[in-house]
Homo-oligomer: A and B are copies of this chain.
Amino acid sequence: MPSNRSTPALPPAAGNGLLDRRLFLRGGAAALAGLSLAGARAAEAERQPWARTPGAGMRSYGAPSRHEDHVQRLGISAQPGTNGSGVSRTPLEHLEGTITPNGLMFERHHSGVPDIDPDRHELRIYGRVRRPLRFSMAALDRYPRVTRAYFLECSGNSGVMASAAQPPDLRCGELHGLISASEYTGVPLAALLDEAGLADGAAWVIAEGDDAARMSRSVPLEKAMDDGLLVLYQNGERLRPEHGYPLRLLLPGFEGNMSVKWLRHLHVTGAPAMSREETAKYSDLRPDGRARLFTFPMAVKSVITSPSPGLDLSGPGLYQISGLAWSGRGAVRSVEVSADGGQSWAPAHLEPPVLAKHLTRFRAAWQWNGAPARLLSRASDDTGAIQPTRPAWLARHGGGAFYHYNAIQAWAIDEHGRASNAYG
């Protein structure tokens, strides 16, 4: 997109064209991409075809433009012999801001999506409690609600970046799209556990869903009582079926698998269940051949969503880097970006409000000179944790590791402006 005006001198913040983030705050990182408009054509009378006749009417429930049909969940794949045991991914490279539309939130099901009648669904609390209780959905409507924005990330997100010898030729969402964020509204789990009354020895809560797999996970009681949420609404409306309608558990910042969908049972116990989904799966194989169980919080992480593979540059000039950062342990403290493969770093601008355990959108302006470049982002959180390089992550976790991958992501930009996945 050539400009007919000269680009002003912009203050650099790091090597290879990264500009000062304060340019965002005062609006100075303008692309100068507007084309001159002849005065005579300015207020022209000609109309596009869509403006010549009255348009479509109102609809009971809207849908995206047909011109956005390419924006869909990615990499839908199911186990052989099933159609509902698998995943779909969020197309991060086509989205902006921090909220994921419900229609595009990633999915991970262990035996498909049940069609639950809310009038016949109930939640049961039993085990080491003084009063075993059951709650209809109507009963849950009587309890205090809270609204909070949180991310939810599958612990297997980005795992292919750990296990593949060569960088997979995939897009941002295909690599990292097992993450989404929403505004959730629900009942604090503590309110119901208080009502049931914790008995001696209560230390864990086994949460089980009412899908055909009866997916279950063991939750430390401390987490359940801290910020565990029984979610009824996501982004304003009732949960969608694939996200646990009519009731899901949400454990902010913890690996997504623990936020059990279609929640039916809360069994208070003295010890974890050691179920399949926390022993054979969702555990971390270590270099010595032993597996580490119970890695709950998702580590600090970031990814540049644009530019990224498929969103290529159209020639030298000014570009806006946009990306997402998050931490399961708290709030993002800073994100740095590099355009020279990590030799130098510039601080990115973080969009307010920066909320704990929610996605943070970061931005930086970059003057691309047309030569090959390598774009990286590196986040730190308010515990002081910072993203490792891929070699550092592998050295620590071992070659057999797959879950909880949070290393720095690099996009290589070639001289044609094409972006591709890269290691280091």
A: which residues have CB within 8 A of B?
A: 1, 5, 23-24, 27, 29-39, 42-43, 47-48, 50-68, 71-73, 76, 78, 82-88, 94-105, 107, 109, 111-118, 120-121, 124-127, 131-136, 138-147, 183-185, 188, 190-192, 194-196, 210-212, 214, 232-233, 235-242, 245-246, 265, 267, 314, 317-320, 322, 351, 353, 355, 361, 363, 365
A36 and B211 CA atoms in complex are apart in Å by 24
Please determine whether A235 and B97 come into contact, CB atoms closer than 8 angstroms.
Answer: yes
Complex: A136 Cα to B185 Cα, angstroms: 39
Q: What are 16 A-B residue pairs whose CB atoms fall within 8 Å in the complex?
A: A33-B139, A34-B135, A35-B135, A35-B139, A50-B117, A51-B214, A56-B115, A56-B241, A62-B242, A65-B116, A68-B237, A97-B183, A97-B235, A104-B237, A142-B320, A146-B351
Out of B32, B59, B103, B195, name the residue touching A62 (CB < 8 Å): B103
Give the residues in chain B near A23, CB-CB below 8 Å. Answer: 144
Q: Distance in Å from the Cβ of A70 to the closest Cβ of chain B?
A: 10
Shortest beta-carbon contacts, A-B, top 3: A55-B112, A31-B142, A34-B133
Is the pair B36, A132 in contact by a Cβ cutoff of 8 Å?
yes
Q: Which residues of B contact A34 (CB under 8 A)?
A: 125, 131, 133-135, 139, 192, 195-196
Contact assessment for A115 and B66 in the assembled complex, using a CB-CB cutoff below 8 Å: yes
Give every chain B residue within 8 A of A29 (Cβ-Cβ): 144
State how many copies of this chain the complex holds.
2
Q: Identify A27's interface contact among B31, B43, B73, B190, CB under 8 A.
A: B190
Closest partner residue, chain B, to A50 (CB atom):
B114
Nearest chain B CB to A370 CB, angstrom units: 15
The residue of chain B having its C-beta at the shortest distance from the C-beta of A355 within the complex is: B353
Contact B109 A55 (CB under 8 A): yes
* CB nearest neighbor in B for A135: B34
